[in-house]
Structure 1
Amino acid sequence: MADESIPVSAEAPDSPFRTTGTDHITIWGSNAEDTIAFYRDLLGMPLVLRQPNLDDPSQTHLFFDTGDGRILTVFVSDDRASNRGRVPTQTGSVHHLSFSIAAEDFEDVMEALEDAGHGYNVFDRGIFFSLYTQDNNGLIVELSADKYDIPDERRGEVLATAQRIREEDGADFAEDRHMKQALEELGLDAEPADLPDASTGVGY
Structure 2
Amino acid sequence: MRKIQTQGVHHITFNGADRQSTIDFWEGVLGMPFIFEQPNLDAPQINHLYFDPGDGRLITVFTEESRKPGGRVVDQVGSMHHIAFTVSLASWRQALLRLKEADIANSGPVDRGFMHSIYFRDPCGQLIELACYKFDPPEGATHAEVLRLAHDLRIMRGAKNIEEEDLADAIEAITARRGLSLSADD
Scaled by the length of structure 1, what TM-score is found? 0.80
Matched, 1:60 2:47: yes
Inter-partner Cα distance in structure 1 for 2:27 and 2:58 = 12
Render the CA deviation track for 1:142-176: whole Å, top value 9, x for unaligned. Answer: 00111112369612211111111111111121122
Render the CA deviation track for 1:75-132: whole Å, top value 9, x for unaligned. Answer: 11011111254x2111211100100111022232211100100011211110000011
Structure 1 residue runs without a partner (length 5+):
1-13, 189-204
Match of 1:187 among 170, 175, 178: 175
Q: How many residues align?
A: 174
Question: 3-state DSSP class of the match of 1:165?
Answer: helix
Match of 2:87 among 101, 121, 146: 101
Inter-partner Cα distance in structure 2 for 1:144 and 1:45 = 15
1:32-181 alignment to 2 at 5 Å?
A: 32-83=19-70, 85=72, 87-121=73-107, 122-150=109-137, 154-181=142-169
Inter-partner Cα distance in structure 1 for 2:66 and 2:23 = 15
* Counterparts in 2 of 1:180 and 1:15: CA distance versus 1, 3 Å: farther
Kindly provide the amino acid, as one letter, of the partner of residue 99 in structure 1: F
Which structure carries more relative contact order (alpha carbon 8 Å, separation 6+)?
1
- For the pair shown, which has the larger CA radius of gyration, 1 or 2? 2
The answer as to whether partners of 2:136 and 2:143 remain within 8 angstroms in 1 is no
Q: Paired residue for 1:25?
A: 12
Scaled by the length of structure 2, what TM-score is found? 0.87
Runs ≥4 residues deviating over 6 A: none
Kindly provide the amino acid, as one letter, of the partner of residue 77 in structure 2: T
Moved more, 55-64 or 141-150: 141-150
Inter-partner Cα distance in structure 2 for 1:187 and 1:136 = 44
Question: 3-state DSSP class of the match of 1:186?
Answer: helix
Q: Cα offset for 1:17?
A: 2.6
Inter-partner Cα distance in structure 2 for 1:153 and 1:70 = 21
Q: Paired residue for 2:181?
A: none
Give the aligned CA root-mean-square deviation in angstroms: 1.8
Question: 3-state DSSP class of the match of 1:187?
Answer: helix
Q: Paired residue for 2:179?
A: none
